[in-house]
Structure 1
Amino acid sequence: MAVKRTSHEPAYVLHRYDWSESSLILEVFTRHHGRIALVAKGAKRPSSNFRPVLLPLQPLQLSYGGDAEIRSLKAAEWMGGHVMPTGEALLSGYYLNELLLRLLARDDAHEALFDAYAGVVQVLAGDHAGAQAATQAAALRAFELLLLREVGLLPALDAETLTLAPLEDDVRYALVPEAGLRQAAQDEAALEGSEWRAVEHTLGERAPFPAALRQVALMNAGTNSSLRNQLRTLLNYHCGVATLRTRQMMRDLQAL
């Protein structure tokens, strides 16, 4: 019986851990097959061709085979295009990887989300990190929105979730776990109805990531902060944690 084989699959390594003295288990995000697990035999040996290639936040093409839950990696090629992000941008990349590991089921393809991930990684790896800090933050918000929508955890952002009443332009609405969008209390993090509708429009674009990135980048600092806080609360809720590990690491490093 022929062993199923996939060749030249676009992918990113999300996480890697030791399997034996010489091999690794990889969690990878592929464009056409979603999140899968691979064993890279001999990848820790100094002579292995896998050793310099299997790095996170790098565009790869992978070939692998097998029908088991953990397939066998046969070949890996670095596709180039950008260098590894550094500093806070690197931690932001690890944050994205943690979200994907927690929220994506195995073997469930999300091609649009893969393209968005490739886009945000390019932003994080861009030159002049200081000048791009605002753009990097906007890219994270855009990706969070797309991830939540892709996995069915983001309600329609042009109507109140419980009543389906259209949002009013100047009324403030909060995005709340389990309740979706509802009118906000006075001191609650919220966006105006016109702002939520603009975000919803970008998510329906043919290329949603650049559209959402542009929309978030246009927001003022206060609105951006409010969106970040609401998305963070929603993501933490669905990940089942008070704070994601990578977020806590970033806080600890900033405190130092």
Structure 2
Amino acid sequence: MKRGYVLHHRQFRESSVIVNLLIEGEGRVDAITRVGSGKRSIKSILQPFQPLIIQFSTKSESKNLGLKNITQIESAAPAMPLSGNSLYSGFYLNELLVRLLSVEHQAEGIFLDYHRALLALAKQFCSSHLRYFEMALLLELGALPSLAYDTQGDLLDNNCHYRFIAQSGFIPILTSQESHFTHGKGSLSGAMLLALASQELQPEQFNQAKGLMRYLLTPLLGNKPLLSRQLFTKKTD
């Protein structure tokens, strides 16, 4: 049996659901399961942010749908106690995973990053937890630029400022005047980039880090907006 989380599920026929799962060591897995009824129903645990242990059969119920078949599923621990902005953040992480992962590109290593993000959000909301998860996801997808070296092969410098160039990385710029990162045309402080890489962002660096992550995610997400972002107030998304 494997550890996993439900990312999303939808009704399939009268007594079954199709479930998008994040599975430890496998990544994105789409499966089908019967929900049952009465005391034997699994509806109460088939929810986001509920740690699960799951067993799959070797045969898919529907080869045409390309789904695995869940033969056993049970809770592994109490559901993560998310509320308020932490709950909205959890929905955001789930939507990112459903949108960006496929069964062809599963991102096997992202499970622990997701689990750690939920644990951190359950303790206290901080937007830095979202940035660290976005960074881990971009790395899994091969879309994260180097946060150690600039385009010239030199180590990033705390005291320098950089501009991000798509397909290349961070290029040093000849100014110490800090500006907000806007559509890839602003400057990024080396201190923020290094703090992001080491997961030590300071509050004054949050907005700049958010701008960078959004810029990097936009080509992958396309034009369709993320529904979960609408849950946030402007100061906390």
Is the aligned partner of 1:118 residue 2:115? yes
Q: Secondary structure at the match of 1:241?
A: coil
Is 2:74 aligned against 1:77?
yes
Matched ranges for 1:35-54 at <5 A: 35-41=28-34, 43=35, 45-54=37-46
Match of 1:234 in 2: 216
Matching residue's letter, 1:55: Q
8 A Cα contact 1:18 1:24, kept in partner: yes
The alpha carbon displacement at 1:182 in A equals 2.8
| Mapped partners of 1:194, 1:168: distance in 2 | 7
Superposed CA offset, 1:6-41 (max 9, x none):
xx1110000001111221100001012210111112
Q: Does 1:143 align with 2:136?
A: no
Give the aligned partner of residue 95 of structure 1: 92
The answer to which structure has the higher helix fraction is 1
Q: Which residue of 2 aligns with 1:209?
A: none
Pairwise CA distance, 1:172: 1.2
Q: Could you say which residue in structure 1 is the equivalent of 2:184? A: none
* Cα deviation 1:166-211 (Å, max 9, x = unaligned): 43332212445545323468634243224423543x3xxxxxxxxx
Q: Which is worse superposed, 185-194 or 23-32?
A: 185-194
Please state if 1:153 is matched with 2:146: no
* Aligned-partner SS, 1:53: coil
- Following TM superposition, where does structure 1 have runs of at least 4 consecutive aligned residues deviating by more than 6 angstroms? none
Unaligned 5+ segments in structure 1 are 1-7, 127-131, 203-211
TM-score by length of 2: 0.82
Q: Provide the alpha-carbon RMSD of the alignment.
A: 2.5
Q: Distance in 2 between matches of 1:233 and 1:182?
A: 16
Q: TM-score, normalization: structure 1?
A: 0.76
**Identical counterparts, % of pairs:** 27
- Tell me the distance in 2 between the aligned counterparts of 1:47 and 1:24: 18
